[in-house]
Chain A
Amino acid sequence: MVSGLVFDIQRCALHDGPGIRSVAFLKGCPLRCLWCCNPESQSAERQLFYHSGKCLSCFGCVGVCPAGALRAGTEGVEIDFGLCVSCGKCGKICPAGAIGLYGYEMTAEEVVVEFERDAGYYASSGGGITLSGGEPLMQAEFASEILMLSKKKGWHTAVETCGTVPAVSLSTALPFADLFLLDFKLSDRELFKEYAGGDYGMMMNFLEVLAASGKEIILRTVFVPGVNDTSNHAEAVAALCRKYPCIAAVNVMPLHDYGKTKYTDIGRPVPEIYGNLPNEGQVDRWLSLLREAGIENVKKG
């Protein structure tokens, strides 16, 4: 029985592939994008969170922590995240859900049982299931098993990926995935390294293998003003679309800061880049630029 680490399952997702979908978010990501909206997804391990707003200051968690990571403070619990051993005892005792661990183990079957609850909605809407993350293909065997079981049920399957994993990780999932939502963030090798911490060559190789399979691809391009709103990047996206006809569409994902409290919750500073969010006019200009570069099927995602 294959199992893996999941940090969320969202139902009735309307923006992660066609139709009505359920999305499983798998933990672990090889990238460290400066704008990441799911910082809790990055570590491949369970990790501590603390929502200070929910804390009742009962300090039950302090007493059960075996690692001395928690202390009773004047305004809630004071935490040394570095000492946490991810035992999860604090989450079990907390009455308010204020403290606990991101990430829980599930078998592929258990994930599919959860998906099954909305199977009727997939059928009527042309929807299905999506694996997201993190990078779902970091847990390639687990992801492939979920996809295979889902295909057995006859559901449409999608994988949201950053493409920065070895092609071999793709190969196990490939036969059971109908659609890939490929995050294409930057088209410059150095900038990709600088802003996302990734290996551009590995991603391009991934895309090459993926495109060769003929599977449908939607490019998801995060729009970060001052970072990737260049004509060079627009041209590069357009060139990919010309080169790979299986790229069916380009979705522009404007930078947002909805995930900023999650940084604080896991003991990390809020990204400085959130100080420069795009306005609607900027997004429209970027969309125009992409269209001018020759991309026909582009829209705000």
Chain B
Amino acid sequence: MDSNSKVRLFSDFTDAYLKWEGDIAKRALECMRIQYPLWLEPVEPDDLCAGRGEFDDELGFTPQALVNKFCYYFDEEKAERLLADASLSDECRCRFAEIAAFWKTEDSACKLRKSYSSAVSSLLPSDDWKGEAGCAFPLYRMSGTQLDYDKLLRLGIPGLKQELSRFADERPECRKYYEDAAAELDYVTEVMRWYAGSLRGSENENLNTIAGILDALCCRAPETMREAIQLSYLYCQLAGSLNFGRMDEYLGDFLAMDIEAGRLDRELAINMIGRYWKLIEKRGRVYDSRLTIGGKGRRNEKNADRFALYAIEAIRQVRCVAPQVTLRFYSGQNPELADAAMAAIAEGCTFPMLYNDDVNIPSVASAFGVSNEEAVGYIPFGCGEYTLYHRSVGTPSGVINLMQILLEVLKRRSYDSYEDLWQAYVSEIGKYMAVLAEQEICEYRFAGAAAPFHLIGILYDDCLERAAAVFDGGVRHLGGTVESYGGTNAADSLVVIRNFLFDSAIMTQGEMVRILETDFTGNEVFRQKCLSMPKYGNDDDIADDIKTAVDRAVCEAAIDSGKKVGLDSYLVVFINNDANTVLGHYTGASPDGRHSGLPLANGNAPSGGCDRKGLTALLNSMLKPSTRIHAGAVQNLKLSGRMFSDGCLLKTRALLDTYFASGGAQLMITVVNRGDLEDAMLHPENYGNLIVRVGGFSARFIELGRDVQEEILSRTLY
């Protein structure tokens, strides 16, 4: 869309926003109807289905924009560029200047910040976590929704509308709610007709087929796997959701029917799934795009398993960095799934990621405070945060840097004993956690008051029964999560602090602080002493006990803070994207021997290169922190290809089986050889397909920043 047309669209968008100020449902609907021709992209000739698009424009409405923004979002940087666009007419430039001035303060994140209490404002003074040092930051998004795609595909758009009519008849006092929800379904139909109209009569057979599918889906529920993919993909996009639920369950029956009817065979089906992977990958949401296969609680296990096996085969054939395919497994599950997963991993695929139901179900039950039956529906989204499938939301709306907090505590005053320092540290974590939890509930309230997000609520349990919008009392379990980084560095640092300042008392606190402030300059001998102290990741009880205690302290602080603000759960996630590297830039030298500016440890892993006692020691360490007090901890493991050679494969399987049987919740395995990585840094052109898991997402190695590449190289390769 050219810049002048874009401005006219933003003008209409702004007018609608003002016109419908008193009716948030109508306002959201009209804004969505105005914006879709902008953000939805044309169908490419070889696309499997229609609906590509990304919220990366100057202005828009979505639960989660590409930048750190939500609801009615306005991207000032982009707006400035548009304003300077030479192709803008004078009239459009003037209009856009007005629009920009309006949205500068009307942007939802901006308005949310204004609603903060003084405590939140003072402890979370900035949201620029990628550009400033800080202990904690807010994140603005309603992310991690996992819709009931099974219901969507069973009923189709017409069936969902009928359901809403029934509700409206039964509860006339809530008629407006149901009619508003139905109007959002009409919006879905409108978009399908718009797409179909643009494709119908095309010379390209594939595009014509898509047009036919879209026409059919306006009138009935899907009947084939391709129709089911089209509807679920487009609905997910229009709802502003970024994750794809338990795909093997909701597509498994369609696959079985297609095969039964002779419409598909194994190869055609895998090819279709592979094309779907490519479409998801093209959207570029590598931190999200999570889908789950396998695990307990699928209503159609046999058909779902078949889809799951084809899905893994499609990963092997397509080698993409998204979707983030996640395999849930339990003892007694069809072993073909785990075998196929291991074969894919051995070939260098970073998917599927492995999640152990036998551990995760009771852990989620404990952490979320729900029954085991309900916890069967746990599902990771994004970088690995757990939610309950179409029953809970748990958007990560905060970041906490545990290393930075420890440094501040260390600098603040002197301590009489280690216990004194520890209590001060725990108390400081609690202080930040309290405002992060308050921020989280503020954000939910804001979103609930800003828009109903009916397309999400229609596919969430309880919303229709309660006639309540998802973020306004509709969702059964209103949870929240907080991304925690630097815990391993803090734990390793506490080992050093306890020994050097108290047990051995070889230096004063002031001396340690001074050395850290100069980034060990002229004190390499001291830094080596720091490095030589016990480190998490070596099955060393001294270090592992402190890591466990730090984890527990931060998790319990979150749980307590969540209760105080009235969240059904508020849980830490030890996930990773590249935030460990980004936050590390602004975190000073730490007593564990880490230089200022270097990355913090990744997820729940040891600091890079600090695990030196072998793979079993590493796994044993990773097993020690409790899995029952948080909403997910990323466990990355880099293994060399040698571990999957004929001579070692059975041993490697036994190793992983033992880890899982001993309480291991998850693993994200990257099979790679150090030489590949080093050579890829020198000759990126030769390594386009080298995929490495960086924490909770996967990316092509050569596309990562040099500092991230170096951080990966620094992690121990087994």
Given A11-B616, A12-B616, A19-B651, 18 additional A-B pairs, CB 8 A? A11-B613, A11-B615, A11-B617, A13-B614, A19-B654, A56-B528, A96-B532, A97-B528, A118-B617, A120-B662, A121-B616, A121-B658, A124-B654, A124-B658, A124-B661, A125-B650, A125-B658, A126-B654
A127 at the binding interface (Cβ < 8 Å):
yes
With contact pairs A11-B616, A56-B525 given, residues A117 and B539 touching in the complex (Cβ less than 8 Å):
yes
B655 at the binding interface (Cβ < 8 Å):
yes
Q: Which residues from 7 to 54 on chain A have a C-beta closer than 8 Å to any C-beta of chain B?
A: 10-14, 19-20, 22
CA distance A97 to B643 in the complex (A): 30
- Contact check: which of B526, B647, B655, B662 meets A12 at CB < 8 Å? B655
Q: Flag if B654 contacts A20 (CB, 8 Å).
A: yes
B366 at the binding interface (Cβ < 8 Å):
no
A95 at the binding interface (Cβ < 8 Å):
yes
CA distance A97 to B658 in the complex (A): 33
What's the minimum C-beta distance from B613 to chain A, rounded to whole angstroms? Answer: 6
B265 at the binding interface (Cβ < 8 Å):
no
B347 at the binding interface (Cβ < 8 Å):
no
User: A118 to chain B: which residues have CB within 8 Å?
Assistant: 616-617, 620
User: A20 to chain B: which residues have CB within 8 Å?
Assistant: 616, 651, 654-655
B529 at the binding interface (Cβ < 8 Å):
yes
B419 at the binding interface (Cβ < 8 Å):
no
Q: Flag if A121 contacts B654 (CB, 8 Å).
A: yes
User: B539 to chain A: which residues have CB within 8 Å?
Assistant: 11, 117
Q: What class of interface size applies to chain A in its complex with B?
A: 20 to 34
Q: Flag if A120 contacts B658 (CB, 8 Å).
A: yes
Residues of B within 8 A of A (CB): 524-526, 528-529, 532, 539, 613-617, 620, 643, 647-648, 650-651, 654-655, 657-658, 661-662, 718
Q: Which residues from 115 to 147 on chain A have a C-beta closer than 8 Å to any C-beta of chain B?
A: 117-118, 120-121, 123-127
- 8 nearest A-B pairs in the assembled complex, by CB-CB distance: A125-B654, A11-B614, A12-B614, A95-B528, A96-B528, A12-B616, A95-B529, A124-B658
- Contact check: which of B526, B529, B617, B661 meets A120 at CB < 8 Å? B661
Among B525, B529, B539, residue most surrounded by chain A Cβ atoms (within 10 Å): B525
Q: Mark A197-214, 1 if CB is under 8 A from B, else 0.
A: 000000000000000000
What's the minimum C-beta distance from A32 to chain B, rounded to whole angstroms? Answer: 29
11 A/B residue pairs, CB under 8 Å, sorted by A: A11-B614, A12-B617, A13-B614, A14-B647, A14-B651, A95-B532, A96-B528, A118-B620, A121-B655, A124-B655, A124-B657
CA distance A193 to B718 in the complex (A): 38
User: A10 to chain B: which residues have CB within 8 Å?
Assistant: 614
User: B528 to chain A: which residues have CB within 8 Å?
Assistant: 56, 95-97
CA distance A58 to B658 in the complex (A): 45
CA distance A123 to B615 in the complex (A): 16
Q: Flag if A12 contacts B654 (CB, 8 Å).
A: no
User: B654 to chain A: which residues have CB within 8 Å?
Assistant: 19-20, 121, 124-127
User: A97 to chain B: which residues have CB within 8 Å?
Assistant: 528, 532
Which chain A residue shows the least CB distance to B642? A14
CA distance A147 to B616 in the complex (A): 21
Which chain B residue shows the least CB distance to A96? B528
Q: Flag if B617 contacts A95 (CB, 8 Å).
A: no
- Contact check: which of A56, A58, A120, A125 meets B651 at CB < 8 Å? A125
User: B613 to chain A: which residues have CB within 8 Å?
Assistant: 11
What's the minimum C-beta distance from B174 to chain A, rounded to whole angstroms? Answer: 56
CA distance A29 to B107 in the complex (A): 76
Among A20, A22, A117, A123, residue most surrounded by chain B Cβ atoms (within 10 Å): A20
User: B658 to chain A: which residues have CB within 8 Å?
Assistant: 120-121, 123-125
Q: Which residues from 86 to 121 on chain A have a C-beta closer than 8 Å to any C-beta of chain B?
A: 95-97, 117-118, 120-121
